[in-house]
Amino acid sequence: MAIAVFDYAAWVLRYPEFGAVSEQRAALFFAEAGLYLDNTDASPVQDVAMRLVLLNMATAHIAALSGALNADGKPSGLVGRVSSASEGSVSVTTELGHVPGSAAWFQQTSYGLSFWQATKGYRSAVYVAPQPYNFEPWAGSTWRR
């Protein structure tokens, strides 16, 4: 069974902004990323190296949503992307928009949007053609027309 294995050092090398996230916490984010992209042989992404890149993107997205980039390490509490902000008396407006599926959730961070765009080809139906039908009722029988 070929699965993508989380490599903390490689993940922090690619996403250095998450260097303060512990290896154990990052591994939990990676495990959660498996909810969004199957990390088994049944995955639509059969190339394990490509699957690891995608899972690392999703891991960064989950880490950012979980507040890993905030000074206090806590989530901001905002849901959706920031659509407007002002400075005087501080005002922030967020929105999820009218995007079908779970795109709005992924658009909350640049990591999630990268994941969403990179997996575009895997989110469509796959047609499996039926096997040819070779039934000839008169072949091999004594019945003739």
Which position has the higher pLDDT, 21 or 94? Answer: 21
Domain spans in the chain, listed from the N-terminal domain onward? 8-75+112-122
d(CA 123, CA 27): 25
107: CB partners within 8 A, 6+ apart? 81, 97, 99, 113, 116
Question: Which stretch of DSSP H or E encloses residue 84?
Answer: strand 81-86
Contact 57, 71 (CB under 8 A): no
With bands split at pLDDT 50, 70 and 90, how would you rate the model's confidence at 14?
A: very high
pLDDT one-digit tens code per residue, 24-42 = 999 999 999 999 999 999 9
d(CA 84, CA 15): 27
With bands split at pLDDT 50, 70 and 90, how would you rate the model's confidence at 3?
A: very high
pLDDT one-digit tens code per residue, 63-115 = 998 988 876 666 665 666 666 777 777 777 766 665 556 788 888 889 999 99
Read off the pTM.
0.73
d(CA 95, CA 18): 25
